[in-house]
């Protein structure tokens, strides 16, 4: 039974992936930027050509951009894992990771961990080889744990803990940092609903196609019956009632988001029946994180995590995701009586509220303990991000110029070593890059060595030369 369910889930995920990749490919492949256009070179990369080798130290441009908020420099070895739940700022963190990779500082993996076992064998191979030679690996890994059949809290967290213990035993200076952000429960529900559910209800009510192939049923004699209820309910309140403890469930099991968005329900495996056990498992997971910040304190969360791993580039483009299906409604449209909505979510999502109460309070206490010096750094960082927006406005976000491909994409051996540009400063780094590039959901132009159609420092999208 379990195997059949897993196969069904994989097939369903592949179908969603194919839909997403088709939507992405419908966009023009060129026109995002022009090779050699100086207006597209961002400040922290000015004066630099296409980065061909792993960067073992901060470049002058990157160091200058960090000068009023950074502490420390680039670490020789570090691993940062961002637990990206839907609507918690993870797409912006992905931008940051990809920008660091584009500039040669580290290697991005995400947003699924479906190929985790083979990927991780390559990570351990590098770690074991370095320790055997009495040195620290030259490696910065940036992992986005977002969505997929392999959940972060299962095998990946076990492997990360084992590698951390290995580093400690052999006195290897290679921090492994887990970070995520929690959000006020009602705000989370409203954001998720606006983004991925509201337009579905609107379409279902307008077209009668809210469930299966059609929303009209018929009596045995052929007479039309009343329209079926849309699978998401008629409104925010009805949908919310079908997806209790939404945020905490997705935090523990990312695949639960699929049901909440596409079907208005989370499947039974995502909704534990024992409330206390569910809380204990969630709390145990989050207690293993190094930074559990809040969405409202995004910059503070980012700085704390970056300090621990020496992440070089943090300046990002303000990200305001479009609401799907062209939905233009506001929170006031969805919830005219906000107090009533807040009361409803308190009733429906006690675990969400417990998670928010514990971890938001702990984060505020952590910030208070850091005092005025950290607050000044945050202010300096916010100013730097604001100053960078005009430059970002004329340049595409890093992930915009990457091409989405589904988990059913290339096998690792189809990516030939001579075509790969690998930001891992290890002799055996190419196999790791090969596996990461094959298994992650974004194919970026800077994965490949420059050729006649890819020579600009921005890395504008051109037809790929990496896949044979």
> Looking at residues 85-114, what average pLDDT do you find?
92
**Within a 10 A sphere around the Cβ of 202, how many other Cβ atoms?**
15
Residue 163 has pLDDT above 50, yes or no: yes
The pLDDT tens digits of the residues spanning 217-263 come to 333 344 444 457 899 999 999 999 999 999 999 999 999 999 999 99
Residue 32 has pLDDT above 60, yes or no: no
Q: For the chain, what percent of residues have pLDDT higher than 90?
A: 53
What's the pLDDT score for residue 20?
38
Lowest mean pLDDT among 81-85, 161-165, 189-193, 456-460: 456-460
Rg of the Cα atoms in the chain: 23
Look over the chain and give the mean of its residue pLDDT values, rounded to a whole number: 81
**Within-domain flag for 297:** yes
What's the pLDDT score for residue 326?
80
**Within-domain flag for 212:** no
Q: How far apart are CA 286 and CA 181, in angstroms?
A: 10
Binned at pLDDT 50, 70 and 90, residue 277 comes out as: very high
Q: Is 407 left (phi over 0), alpha (psi -120 to 50) or beta?
A: alpha
Residue 460 has pLDDT above 50, yes or no: no
Binned at pLDDT 50, 70 and 90, residue 287 comes out as: very high
> Looking at residues 97-101, what average pLDDT do you find?
90
* Positions of E strands within 191-316: 216-218, 224-227, 291-294
What's the pLDDT score for residue 178?
98
**Within-domain flag for 226:** no
The pLDDT tens digits of the residues spanning 318-376 come to 887 777 888 888 999 999 999 999 999 999 999 999 999 999 999 999 999 999 999 99
What's the pLDDT score for residue 51?
64
**Within a 10 A sphere around the Cβ of 452, how many other Cβ atoms?**
7
The pLDDT tens digits of the residues spanning 3-22 come to 565 455 445 444 544 443 33
**Within-domain flag for 421:** yes
User: How far does the chain reach from its first CA to its final CA, in angstroms?
Assistant: 39
What's the pLDDT score for residue 113?
92
Binned at pLDDT 50, 70 and 90, residue 417 comes out as: confident
142: domain range? 47-188+279-447
Q: How far apart are CA 344 and CA 339, in angstroms?
A: 9
Backbone angles phi, psi at 79, to 5 degrees: -135, 125
**Within-domain flag for 25:** no
What's the pLDDT score for residue 328?
86
What's the pLDDT score for residue 225?
47
**Within-domain flag for 138:** yes
**Within-domain flag for 287:** yes
Binned at pLDDT 50, 70 and 90, residue 400 comes out as: low
Residues 6+ apart with CB under 8 A from 8: none
In terms of Cβ atoms closer than 10 Å to its own Cβ (0-12, 13-18, 19+), residue 306 is buried
Q: Between these two residues, 17 and 180, which has the higher pLDDT value?
A: 180
Residue 458 has pLDDT above 60, yes or no: no
Of 98-107, 176-185, 306-315, 444-453, give the range with the top mean pLDDT: 176-185
What is the tally of structural domains in the chain? 1
What's the pLDDT score for residue 67?
77
**Within-domain flag for 235:** no
* Positions of E strands within 395-435: 403-404
**Within a 10 A sphere around the Cβ of 155, how many other Cβ atoms?**
14
- Taking CA atoms, 278 is separated from 87, 253, 270, 273, 355, in Å, by 22, 11, 10, 8, 11
What's the pLDDT score for residue 42?
56
């Amino acid at each position: 039974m379990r195997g059949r369910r897993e196969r069904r889930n994989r097939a369903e995920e592949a179908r969603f992936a194919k839909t997403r990749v088709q939507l992405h490919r419908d966009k023009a492949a060129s026109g995002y930027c022009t090779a050699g256009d100086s207006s597209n070179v961002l400040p922290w990369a000015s004066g630099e050509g296409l980065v061909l080798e792993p960067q073992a130290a901060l470049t002058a441009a990157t160091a200058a951009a960090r000068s009023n908020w950074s502490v420390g420099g680039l670490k020789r070895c570090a691993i940062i894992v961002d637990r990206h739940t839907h609507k918690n700022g993870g797409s912006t963190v992905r931008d940051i990771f990809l920008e660091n990779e584009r500039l040669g500082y580290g290697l991005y993996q995400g947003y699924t961990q479906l190929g985790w076992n083979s990927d991780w064998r390559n990570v351990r191979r590098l770690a074991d080889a370095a320790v055997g030679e009495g040195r620290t690996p030259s490696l910065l890994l940036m992992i986005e744990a977002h969505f997929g059949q392999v959940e972060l809290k299962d095998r990946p967290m076990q492997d990360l803990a084992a590698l951390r213990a290995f580093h400690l035993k052999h006195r290897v200076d290679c921090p492994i940092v887990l970070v995520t952000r929690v959000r006020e429960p009602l705000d989370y529900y409203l954001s998720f609903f606006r983004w991925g559910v509201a337009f579905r209800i609107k379409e279902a009510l307008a077209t009668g196609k809210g469930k299966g192939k059609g929303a009209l049923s018929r009596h045995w004699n052929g007479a039309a019956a009343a329209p079926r209820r849309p699978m998401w309910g008629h409104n925010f309140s009805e949908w919310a009632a079908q997806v209790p403890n939404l945020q905490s469930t997705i935090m523990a099991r990312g695949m639960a988001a699929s049901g909440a968005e596409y079907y208005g329900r989370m499947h039974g495996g995502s909704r534990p029946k024992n409330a206390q056990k569910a809380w204990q498992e969630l709390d145990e997971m989050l207690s293993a994180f190094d930074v559990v910040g809040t969405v409202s304190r995004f910059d503070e969360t980012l700085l704390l995590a970056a300090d621990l791993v020496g992440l070089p580039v943090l300046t990002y483009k303000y990200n305001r995701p479009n609401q799907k299906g062209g939905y233009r409604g506001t929170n006031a449209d969805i919830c005219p009586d906000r107090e009533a909505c807040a009361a409803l979510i308190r009733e429906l999502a006690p675990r969400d509220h417990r998670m928010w109460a514990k971890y938001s309070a702990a984060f505020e206490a952590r910030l208070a303990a850091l005092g005025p010096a950290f607050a000044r750094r945050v202010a300096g960082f916010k100013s730097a991000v604001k100053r960078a927006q005009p430059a970002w406005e004329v340049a595409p976000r890093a992930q915009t110029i990457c091409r989405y491909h589904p988990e059913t994409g290339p096998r690792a051996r189809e990516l030939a070593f001579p075509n790969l540009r690998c930001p891992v400063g290890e002799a055996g780094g190419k196999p790791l890059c090969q596996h990461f590039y094959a298994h992650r959901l974004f194919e970026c132009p800077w994965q490949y060595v420059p050729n006649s159609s890819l020579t600009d420092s921005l890395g504008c999208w051109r037809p790929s030369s990496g896949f044979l």
